[in-house]
Amino acid sequence: MKRILSIQSHVVFGCAGNSAAVFPMRRLGLEVWPVNTVQFSNHTQYRQGWRGMAMPAGHISDLVEGMAGIEVLGQCDAVLSGYLGSAAQGDEILAAVRRIKAANPAALYFCDPVMGHPEKGCIVAPGVSEFLTEQALPVADIVAPNLLELETLTGRHIEDLAGVRSACDQLLSRGVQMVLVKHLGRAAQHPERFEMLLACREGFFHIERPLYDFALQPVGVGDLLSAMMLANLLVGHDPVAAFERTNASVDAVLKATWQAGAYELQLVAAQEALAAPVVRHRAQRLN
């Protein structure tokens, strides 16, 4: 059994951060060790507001120290990081990555570089974007940015697929093994579809899925994507198959959410598609 240390946000109600990632990864048969960077009543895009707090300085390090004390860090196969409550938490995460890689050199660091989207109500603390670009990126084995985050990581303005590929090449040249661009946005080929791109040793691969006409766009889709991609890799699928399965599972969750007229992701309703997705859209290799 593979084991993941998942360090990201947590909401009591709904699906975002660990609340969108832990159940799907467990549904694939992985053991997940969740550590919360923040604990909120609900995600921050509810118009009615939210309550909660970022975990205090030292919280992550203290929990990792506790796990080291019972000698389980060497059993960890991957660290997944997402939303940070502060830039200082990033330093604690990288310290955890170093300790785990020292105990298990085969362990992966999957960095979901959540930088916020103020127009949608998603805001990150000062210094987080700089931490992700300057400190986390050089350590990461896999990164999963959306288009805006890819621009920040590479210092580029990207308008088309060629620009996305060039930016991914830049990250790969810096030592990242795999780049999953979770949303191509304005660089997509077909605005009426949802498109993603995978860059890895095998090449560049493009995939799409339907867009659903939500009254309010669900939150946590990116967290689910990163979790499913890492989980599919760890259970033994090659990068392209993991990409296809992840796309299929997320599409099934979104379809169930849309059919239910819900705002929060319907993970439980679509759980069979997490473990055994029906792949209807194949990844296309780009020349």
The binding site consists of 9, 44-45, 112, 144, 149, 182, 223
CA atoms within 13 A on the CB side of 195: 18
Q: Are 155 and 78 in contact (CB under 8 A)?
A: no
181 bridge partner residues: 197
Task: Compute the distance between CA of residue 238 and CA of residue 235 in angstroms, rounded to an integer.
Answer: 9
Could you tell me which of 103, 128, 110 has the C-alpha nearest to residue 118? 128
DSSP code for 176: -
Task: Name which of 69, 57, 94, 67 is nearest 79 in CA terms.
Answer: 94
Question: Which residues carry a binding-site annotation for ATP?
Answer: 112, 144, 149, 182
Binding annotation for substrate = 9, 44-45, 223
Residue owning tokens 């997705």? 277
Where are the extended beta strands (E) located within 26-172? 31-40, 52-54, 78-81, 108-111, 142-143
